[in-house]
Homo-oligomer: A and B are copies of this chain.
Amino acid sequence: MQNKPFLYTSLSPALFHLYDLSDSVVVIIDVFRATSTIAAAMYNGAAKIIPVADVDECKRIGAELGCITAGERDGKVIEGLQYGNSPAEYPRDFIDGKTLVLTTTNGTKLLHMAVERGAAEVVTGSFPNLSAVCEHLVKLNKNVILGCSAWKDRFNLEDTLFAGAVISRIKDHFTIHCDSSLMAEQMYQLHQHDMYQFIRHTTHWHRLAAYGLEKDLEFCVTEDAANVLVTYKNGELVAG
């Protein structure tokens, strides 16, 4: 009876080393905005997304494969790249069937850490693909690490809230002895009905709203707005 797999929440890449990844699936969470944009682009038919940490690598791969390059710093498209990190930039009539090379900071860093540390499987998650992530985790029946990308290693609320959303949906299927998970679940339950208002109090909102990204940020906390499972395989994010 008590053979449920474990679930832990890592609140920052600087805490990620505390968790054993062997035989575990890691969910990379970067709500504002990498894993939300990834969900949107995949949902709209992107063939694959190659996440890279480095701008030069992004340009090199883009030139090599003749594919779309994207990345932002301080709310602007990086010089030499073509597109930004907004989910609104990737509608179906643009991205369907295409390959995207995306450079992000916090999310990509954690994703590469998970791969290097031998996670059995890596998926990306945010509110737009909440149900797809939850259904997959329940079906897999493996240990789960919910990995918040945070902001320059600092705890952030939006990633924590998504971890809480996952936990509040799937907790009956897992053994959870983890204060981070308990806190995340309670914060989500506290704010699930005032999410659009509450995220206005986060530090990341203040950082990004200054660039006029309010609509983007609201999309990023909209449940199942782009409900597709995204898995990392051989250096690429693919649907399913």
Residue A172 at the chain B interface, CB threshold 8 Å: no
Bound: A12/B202 CA distance, A? 20
Beta-carbon contact of B154 and A179 below 8 Å: yes
Q: Which residue of B lies closest to A207 (CB)?
A: B177
Beta-carbon contact of A15 and B187 below 8 Å: no
Bound: A154/B15 CA distance, A? 7
- Within the complex, the shortest CB–CB distance from A8 to chain B, in Å, comes to 9
Beta-carbon contact of A18 and B154 below 8 Å: yes
Beta-carbon contact of B18 and A153 below 8 Å: yes
Copies in the complex: 2
Beta-carbon contact of B14 and A15 below 8 Å: yes
Chain A residues packing against B (C-beta within 8 Å): 11-12, 14-15, 18, 152-157, 160, 177-180, 182-183, 186-187, 190, 201-204, 206
A-B contact pairs, 6 of them (CB 8 A): A15-B153, A177-B203, A182-B201, A182-B202, A183-B183, A187-B187
10 shortest interchain CB distances as A-B pairs: A157-B179, A155-B180, A156-B179, A14-B14, A179-B203, A177-B203, A155-B179, A14-B15, A179-B202, A11-B155
9 new A-B contacts, CB < 8 A, other than A11-B155, A12-B15, A190-B190, are A11-B11, A12-B14, A15-B15, A15-B153, A15-B155, A154-B180, A156-B179, A160-B183, A179-B203
